[in-house]
Amino acid sequence: MIKELDEKLMAIRTEVYDLLENNGDPHRINELKKEYLTLAKTERVHTPEERLYLARHKLRPKVDEYINTIFDDFFCQRGDRLGKEDESIYGGVALFRGIPVTVLGHRKGHNLQENMKYNFGMPGPEGYRKALRMMKQAEKFGRPVITFIDTPGAYPGLEAEANGQSNAISENLAEMSALKVPIIAFVTGEGSSGGALAIGVANRVYMLENAVYSVLSPEGFATILWKDSTRSGEACDLMKLTAQDLFGYGVIDGIIKEPVCGAHHDPVKVYEEIDRILMKELKRYRAMSAEDIAKERYKKFRNIDAKVWKR
C-alpha cells in the first residue's frame, strides 16, 4: 500500500536532511540514499484510491506554498466587501516573472489548528464572492488569473445556505465564463463538486498527477448512490477522477508529473513545472485579444463533453 512506502521514504528523507544539516556520517547518508532509490523503484502505478490518499496528504503543498514559491511581491487581499472575510479562499495580486497576476485558491491548513481556521478549504458564499471580486478586479487591470484548486467541496453549513451558497457558486461560473482575461487553473489536491468548479472555469486546466477532480467526494458519491459512505474505495474505481481519466475526456489540458510517492516528497519539482507551464501559457494569451480569450473559454465549456459524444 502507498501509505507504507510514503512513510518509509519520508522517514529516510527526514533522516538524510538531519544528517546533512548536522554534518553527519557521509557513509550513513550514502546508505540511506541507496535505500531510498531501491525503495523508490518499487513504486507501482497508483490506484485511484491511492491517488486520493496522496491528494489529501497533510504534507502535500498547499496554496500558500505555491503562491510564495512561484510568485513575487504577493499582496494578500481579504474580504468580500459584503460583510465577511472567508479564510478558506486565499489570494491577491503578485508578480509572475515581472507580470502582475491575480492568484487565488482554496486554502487548506498544514495542521489541525490551521485547518480549523481555514475551514479545511471549504468556502462559504463569502469566499466565492471574495474570489469573484478579485477576478473582476483582475479583468479591470488586465491581469491574468491563476487559480489553485484543492477542496473537499463548498461548505455544507447553515449559515452558508442562508447567505446563498448556490447563488455565489452560480455567479462565479457565469462571470468566469465571460471574463476578458486569461484564467489558468491548477487542480493540486482534491477538486470536489461545484465548490471546486466555482474557481475552475478556466481557459486552461492543469492537474497534478495524483490530484483528483470529481462531481462529488467519493464518500458523498457512495452515500448518494449506495447509501453507504464506507464504499468510497469502490466509488474511486468507478468515478474516473484521476488526471489520466480527465485528460482522456478532454476536461483537463495537461498533467503535471509528480515525484515518487507524491508532490510532498520533492515539491520544488512541481513548482518548477508550474512555472514552466505558466510561462508558456501567458505568452500564448499575450498574443490574443480579450474577446478571443473569453470566446476560447466559452467554447471550451460549451463543448466540454464533445469527446465523449464521439466515442
CA distances from 93 to 89, 101, 223, 310 (A): 14, 6, 39, 41
Q: Does 277 bind other proteins (CB under 8 A)?
A: no
Q: Does 173 bind other proteins (CB under 8 A)?
A: yes
Q: Does 228 bind other proteins (CB under 8 A)?
A: no
Residue 266 DSSP SS3: coil
Out of 24, 156, 233, 259, name the contact with other proteins by CB under 8 A.
156
d(CA 132, CA 61): 24
Q: Does 230 bind other proteins (CB under 8 A)?
A: no
> Closer CB to other proteins, residue 269 or residue 295?
295
Lookup: cell for 27: 557513509
Q: Which stretch binds other proteins (CB under 8 A): 1-9, 46-54, 58-66, 161-169?
A: 161-169
| Direct distance between the N- and C-terminal alpha carbons of the chain, in angstroms, rounded to an integer | 34
Out of 240, 244, 271, 290, name the contact with other proteins by CB under 8 A.
240
> Closer CB to other proteins, residue 8 or residue 240?
240
Q: At what angle do helices 2-21 and 26-41 cross, to 10 degrees?
A: 160
CB 35 within 8 A of CB 69: no
Q: Which of residues 135-154 bind other proteins (CB under 8 A)?
A: 154
Q: Does 233 bind other proteins (CB under 8 A)?
A: no
Residue 88 is given by DSSP the state: T
Kindly state the smallest distance separating residue 70's Cβ from other proteins, in Å: 25
Instruction: Report the number of secondary-structure helices (H) and strands (E) in the chain.
Output: 15, 8
Q: Does 301 bind other proteins (CB under 8 A)?
A: yes
Q: Does 291 bind other proteins (CB under 8 A)?
A: no
Lookup: cell for 44: 507501482
Q: Does 47 bind other proteins (CB under 8 A)?
A: no
Out of 1, 45, 158, 287, name the contact with other proteins by CB under 8 A.
158
> Closer CB to other proteins, residue 264 or residue 300?
300
> Which one, of 181, 200, 189, lies nearest residue 131 by Cα?
200
> Which one, of 193, 195, 190, 194, lies nearest residue 210 by Cα?
190
CB 16 within 8 A of CB 33: yes
Residues lying near other proteins in the complex (CB under 8 A): 154-158, 160-167, 169-171, 173-175, 177-178, 193-194, 197-198, 200-201, 213-216, 220-221, 224-225, 238-241, 245-246, 249, 251, 298, 301-302, 304-305, 308-309
